[in-house]
Amino acid sequence: MKQTTAVLLARRPEGVSVASALTLGAIDLPELTPGLALVRNQYMSVDPSTRGRMDPGEKQYTTNFEIGGPLDGSAIGVVVESASDLLPVGATVRHRLGWREYAVVDDKLATVCDLTKAPVMSWLSSMGQTGFTAYAGLIPVGRLAEGETVFVTGAGGAVGSMAGQFARLLGAGRVIGSAGGEQKCTWLREECGFDHVIDYRAADVRAELGEVAPDGIDLFFDNVGGEQMVAALHNMKIHGRVSMCGAVSNFGSQDQPSLAELIEVVLRRVTIQGFIVRDFEDLRPEFEDRVSGWLASGDLVDRATVFDGIENAGAGLEGLLNGANLGKALVRLSD
């Protein structure tokens, strides 16, 4: 029986201090039966939903992790042994068995990635679920129209940096973001083409939005929830739309605003739609065509913060929850 090193959940964490709740251990790899392939993972994605899945109750849209069991999540790697015609040795494949160095993947649950369309790391960021979430949130959910004013929270993160850039490339009139700290704000303005970025740790977001979007926000793409969501609701246009992608502020703070603030939705006749990216699979081919074109033309900045080695995977997740990472958070598992 072959084994691999994996990240295991040692105990359920409190708040955003997650690294100490994880440990490394050996897990068994199944035998290769028809339809399976052994993949040497190169990179894995670090996602806020991983934190939700460490809790016992269903908070996210997938399964919860068991104490003593391995974590999982998106990863990309190279097929080194195969019992599947669809996953030949040498192919680069994306699958759901990250948080381990090697994985035995089912060909029905893995996709071969064409590295002529995008570099390997982009298949987990702009060309992966991250970019696809931004795309779904803007187009079918947000119904973005040309010339509109868009506000994106968590703009310095993976989904947010894509949402703001995609909005610009899709013809938004004004793209405003919010992020924590001057470094992220400067990067978003100078490299990602945001028109204005609010440092939510230093500024009064509600007041600043009123100054930079005096006519109101048409489309609010929310990754964060909490106080920033309230700030945006007070600055929506009449009949504005909210694309509710996530609420990462839930993990860190006990101090959530009152639901009474939702009266703004009534007063401004706002439409709020939550969404889960996997409901939009039919859009994936058009999404990949568009994004690979933007990458090739140099119109899209796809930046990652990369942690080296499986032993630093917990630090990567903690960095994501603390706001230390710029762009997409990835862990390099092998060369």
| CA pseudo-torsion sign 265, 238, 147, 186 | negative
- Tell me: does residue 275 bind ligand NAP (CB under 6 A): yes
Cβ at position 267, least distance to ligand NAP in Å: 25
DSSP state of 157: B
Which of residues 79 and 124 has its CB atom nearest to ligand NAP in the complex? 124
Q: Of these, 77, 157, 164, 316, which contacts ligand NAP (CB under 6 A)?
A: 157
Contacting range for ligand NAP; rule: CB under 6 A; set: 80-88, 212-220, 229-237, 246-254: 246-254
Which of residues 36 and 245 has its CB atom nearest to ligand NAP in the complex? 245
- Tell me: does residue 320 bind ligand NAP (CB under 6 A): yes
Enumerate the β-bridge partners of residue 229.
Answer: none
Closest CA to 266 of 221, 225, 231, 234: 234
Cβ at position 238, least distance to ligand NAP in Å: 26
Q: Of these, 5, 25, 27, 49, which contacts ligand NAP (CB under 6 A)?
A: 49
Contacting range for ligand NAP; rule: CB under 6 A; set: 66-74, 87-95, 112-120, 153-161: 153-161
Direct distance between the N- and C-terminal alpha carbons of the chain, in angstroms, rounded to an integer: 25
- Tell me: does residue 296 bind ligand NAP (CB under 6 A): no
SS3 227: helix
Q: Of these, 73, 142, 164, 323, which contacts ligand NAP (CB under 6 A)?
A: 323
Cβ at position 153, least distance to ligand NAP in Å: 7
- Tell me: does residue 122 bind ligand NAP (CB under 6 A): no
Cβ at position 107, least distance to ligand NAP in Å: 24
- From CA 141, how far away is CA 318, in angstroms rounded? 30
SS3 281: helix
Q: How many chain residues touch ligand NAP (CB under 6 A)?
A: 32
Rg of the chain in Å (alpha carbons): 20
Q: Show the binding pattern over residues 173-192: x = contacts ligand NAP (CB under 6 A), - = does not.
A: ------xxx--x--------
- From CA 31, how far away is CA 38, in angstroms rounded? 9
- From CA 328, how far away is CA 302, in angstroms rounded? 8
Q: For tokens 């948080």, name the residue.
A: 99
Long-range contacts from 210-218, C-beta under 8 angstroms, 24+ separation: 210/234, 210/235, 212/176, 213/149, 213/151, 213/174, 213/176, 215/149, 216/149, 216/240, 217/149, 217/150, 217/151, 217/176, 218/145, 218/148, 218/149, 218/150
- Tell me: does residue 253 bind ligand NAP (CB under 6 A): yes
Contacting range for ligand NAP; rule: CB under 6 A; set: 19-27, 68-76, 241-249, 258-266: 241-249
Which of residues 118 and 163 has its CB atom nearest to ligand NAP in the complex? 163
Cβ at position 34, least distance to ligand NAP in Å: 32
The footprint of ligand NAP (CB under 6 A) covers 47-49, 130, 133, 154, 156-160, 179-181, 184, 223-224, 245-249, 252-253, 275-277, 320-321, 323, 325, 329
